[in-house]
């Protein structure tokens, strides 16, 4: 049977948590392959609502969760999240959660630098969560990162901290921020080590064994293609590659193991934080979408900006993200609207584009070219079969498929796990 990778096809917050949870019931391992605790997935299971940031969603279904080497891990945040879900009755132990030994750790100095930089940007803020994700990825690339395996070697930690603090304290002084003492950081890390190390292993071996045994694996992405550090709306992006190609590198498997790529997109569009958003609505319709969709970030708590579905953007995500099929979520939020709009391209300085260019000036100047379609008065909420959908809703979905050049293989009609319509099983060969 095929494996599946789930990625966002817009700017994140598309409802990946529900879809991953729905798919995880038939997977044996669920692997996070990039991002940090700036990502958030909300899972509604019966009368319990789980808000996860670092933990793979499959843990809620009793599956083995793996945090891959492509993830940057704040050990304190991870332990706090484990404690929180344990209070909800979820079992998280070294038997159910594994962490790649070569995963980079986020330290308090990373968050301090993240916040100092963002404050210094003033009106040009990027909109980071201030949790240290970007600086941790920088250290990884610069070959000075503290990794999970280093917690087992106090001498290695001590030597690495000399270089790390030389770099970060110089930057923090430049921003007028407090610096960090080596002894305090070292004591903090050594104090966490006994609680983190039982979860640590060379996870690539576990995943290779699973692949050879034909065990189903679900690769869980964070954020979305338009926040990819290479392919997104740079510099208003995250600090990792969010496309499916990174599932292999960020988990420690060959590209052939990734399998079917399922892209998640809302039936409209949202974005948190700063950055270009061509279809953003500042009117009553935008407010209505936000209220109906309960558009508040799981991690940030910030209200999401709302707009019409951007087919040009999602088509771009399909191409660069390697998406084989779409899961369209929150269709019910559009119920009762007389007409809907779909962005089919952009007008930039009088020239028409079918994609969003990479240049920041062009992105800011992009004006959506809309196609108007008829809405529907009937309710789609809770629909569990194609036959239960209004004719105009089906036409809307079919038009999206044509414009993004990818099939809608799964449809979500409410936050409830079972309110899902499956057109093609992504786990099917």
Measured CA to CA, the distance from residue 311 to residue 393 in angstroms comes to 16
Measured CA to CA, the distance from residue 136 to residue 168 in angstroms comes to 11
Q: In this predicted structure, what is the pLDDT of residue 32?
A: 95
pLDDT digits (tens, 9 = 90+) for 106-165: 999 999 999 998 888 887 877 778 899 999 999 999 999 999 999 999 999 999 999 999
Q: Hey, is 258 helix, strand or coil?
A: coil
Q: In this predicted structure, what is the pLDDT of residue 337?
A: 97
Q: In this predicted structure, what is the pLDDT of residue 298?
A: 54
CA 346, distance to chain mean position in Å, is 26
Q: What is the mean pLDDT of the chain?
A: 93
Q: In this predicted structure, what is the pLDDT of residue 391?
A: 96
Measured CA to CA, the distance from residue 263 to residue 320 in angstroms comes to 11
Among 229, 162, 195, smallest CA distance to 93 is for: 195
Q: In this predicted structure, what is the pLDDT of residue 349?
A: 96
Among 15, 90, 12, 101, smallest CA distance to 58 is for: 90
Contact 423, 1 (CB under 8 A): no
Task: Delineate the domains of the chain, giving CATH numbers in brackets.
Answer: 4-101+200-260 (3.40.440.10), 104-196 (1.10.300.10), 265-422 (3.90.170.10)
Residue 41: what are its φ and ψ, rounded to 5°? Answer: -120, 130
**What residues of the chain score a pLDDT lower than 70?**
1, 39-40, 297-302, 429
pLDDT digits (tens, 9 = 90+) for 192-229: 999 999 999 999 999 999 999 999 999 999 899 999 99
Q: In this predicted structure, what is the pLDDT of residue 302?
A: 62
pLDDT digits (tens, 9 = 90+) for 356-380: 999 999 999 999 999 999 999 999 9
Contact 279, 309 (CB under 8 A): yes
Q: In this predicted structure, what is the pLDDT of residue 40?
A: 67
Hey, which residues are catalytic here? 13, 41
Q: Which element (helix H / strand E) includes 29? A: strand 29-32
Q: Which element (helix H / strand E) includes 410? A: strand 408-412
Spatial neighbors of 83 by CB under 8 A, at least 6 apart, are none
Q: In this predicted structure, what is the pLDDT of residue 1?
A: 53
């Amino acid at each position: 049977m095929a494996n599946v990778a789930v990625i966002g096809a817009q700017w994140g917050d598309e409802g990946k948590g529900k879809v991953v949870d729905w798919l995880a019931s038939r997977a044996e391992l669920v692997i996070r392959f990039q991002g940090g605790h700036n990502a958030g997935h909300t899972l509604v299971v019966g009368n319990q609502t789980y808000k996860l940031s670092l933990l793979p969603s499959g843990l809620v279904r009793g599956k083995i969760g793996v945090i891959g080497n492509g993830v940057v891990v704040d050990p304190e945040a991870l332990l706090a999240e484990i404690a929180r879900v344990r209070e909800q009755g979820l079992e998280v132990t070294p038997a159910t959660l594994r962490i790649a030994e070569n995963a980079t750790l986020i330290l308090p100095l990373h968050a301090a630098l993240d916040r100092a930089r963002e404050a210094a940007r003033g009106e040009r803020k990027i909109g980071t969560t201030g949790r240290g994700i970007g600086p941790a990825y920088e250290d990884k690339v610069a070959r000075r990162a503290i990794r999970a395996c280093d917690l087992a070697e106090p001498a290695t930690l001590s030597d690495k901290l000399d270089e790390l603090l030389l770099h970060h304290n110089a930057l923090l002084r430049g921003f007028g921020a407090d610096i960090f003492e080596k002894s305090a950081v070292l004591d903090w890390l050594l104090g966490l080590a006994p609680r983190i190390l039982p979860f640590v292993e060379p996870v690539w071996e576990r995943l290779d064994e699973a692949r050879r045994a034909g065990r189903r694996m679900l690769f869980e992405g964070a954020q979305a293609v338009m926040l990819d550090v290479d392919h997104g709306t740079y510099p208003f992006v995250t600090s990792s590659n969010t496309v499916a190609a990174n599932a292999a590198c960020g988990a420690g498997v060959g590209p052939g193991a990734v399998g079917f790529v399922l892209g998640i997109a809302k039936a409209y569009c949202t974005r948190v934080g700063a950055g270009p958003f061509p279809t953003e609505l500042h009117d009553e319709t935008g407010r209505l979408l936000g209220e109906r969709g309960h558009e508040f970030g799981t991690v940030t708590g910030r209200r999401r900006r709302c707009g019409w579905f951007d087919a040009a953007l999602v088509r771009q995500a399909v191409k660069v993200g390697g998406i084989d099929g779409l899961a369209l979520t929150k269709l019910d939020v559009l119920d009762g609207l007389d007409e809907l709009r779909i962005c089919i391209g952009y007008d930039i300085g009088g020239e028409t584009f079918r994609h969003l260019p990479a240049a920041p000036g062009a992105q800011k100047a992009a004006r959506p070219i809309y196609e108007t379609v008829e809405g529907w008065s009937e309710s789609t909420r809770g629909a569990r079969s194609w036959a239960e959908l209004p004719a105009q809703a089906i036409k809307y979905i079919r038009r999206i498929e044509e414009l993004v050049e990818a099939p809608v293989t799964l449809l979500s009609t409410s936050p409830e796990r079972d309110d899902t319509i499956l057109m093609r099983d992504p786990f099917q060969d």
